[in-house]
């Protein structure tokens, strides 16, 4: 993992569908060399996947919320969580609550219905997202030459 690897990661974080040839031009290295470095980073698990980012709004999902949750039937709650399409992210956390989840629903009504379903497993505090300032800032610094 040297500076060249970080540049490759930065390019792919910015646009995961960029061609390897284009990266190779950007960093002035042959295309097979970039391919090989990339393959190694994938094998090592530095890169965990490539995802298209979709607009919730354009897909009819107009409400995003973070739900803090306290459950004492963790196993059941986690099974419920995996089966719930509304839950996009699920984390175990320290503090008064033991879970935090990001929830995306069509409307505040469907959010309320989802929360009702959750309350079989424990209790919650909900923070509704009013606006997203930014998301998915890169973990790798834009290293300049």
Query: Which chain residues interact with its own copies by CB under 8 A?
Result: 9, 12-13, 15-17, 44-56, 58-59, 61, 64, 66, 68, 78, 81-82, 85, 87-95, 97, 100, 104, 125-137, 139-141
Contact flag: residue 110 with DNA (CB under 7 A): no
Cβ at position 53, least distance to DNA in Å: 18
Which two tokens mark 130? Answer: 């009013």
Cβ at position 62, least distance to its own copies in Å: 12
Longest dimension (CA), the chain: 57
Burial classification of residue 66, based on how many CB atoms lie within 10 Å of its CB (0-12 exposed, 13-18 middle, 19 or more buried): middle
Rg of the chain, C-alpha, whole Å: 20
Which of its own copies, DNA, none is residue 72 near (CB under 5 to 8 Å by kind)?
A: none
Q: At what angle do helices 31-44 and 3-14 cross, to 10 degrees?
A: 80
Cβ at position 79, least distance to its own copies in Å: 11
Choose, by CB under 7 A, the member of 3, 15, 21, 109 that binds DNA.
21
Which of 104, 95, 8 has its CA nearest to residue 57?
104
Give the residues lining the site for DNA (CB under 7 A). Answer: 4, 19-22, 29-33, 35-37
């Amino acid at each position: 993992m040297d500076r060249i690897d970080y540049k490759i990661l930065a390019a792919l974080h910015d646009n995961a569908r960029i061609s390897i040839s284009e990266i190779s031009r950007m960093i002035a290295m042959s295309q097979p060399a970039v391919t090989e470095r990339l393959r190694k980073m994938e094998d090592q698990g530095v890169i965990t996947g490539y995802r298209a980012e979709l607009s919730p709004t354009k897909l009819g999902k107009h409400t995003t919320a973070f739900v803090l949750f306290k459950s004492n039937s963790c196993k059941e709650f986690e099974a419920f969580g995996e089966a719930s399409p509304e839950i996009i992210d699920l984390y175990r956390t320290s503090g008064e609550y033991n879970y935090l989840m990001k929830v995306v629903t069509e409307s505040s009504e469907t959010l309320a219905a989802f929360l009702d379903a959750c309350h079989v497993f424990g209790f919650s505090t909900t923070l509704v997202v009013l606006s997203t300032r930014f998301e998915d800032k890169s973990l790798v610094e834009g290293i300049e030459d």
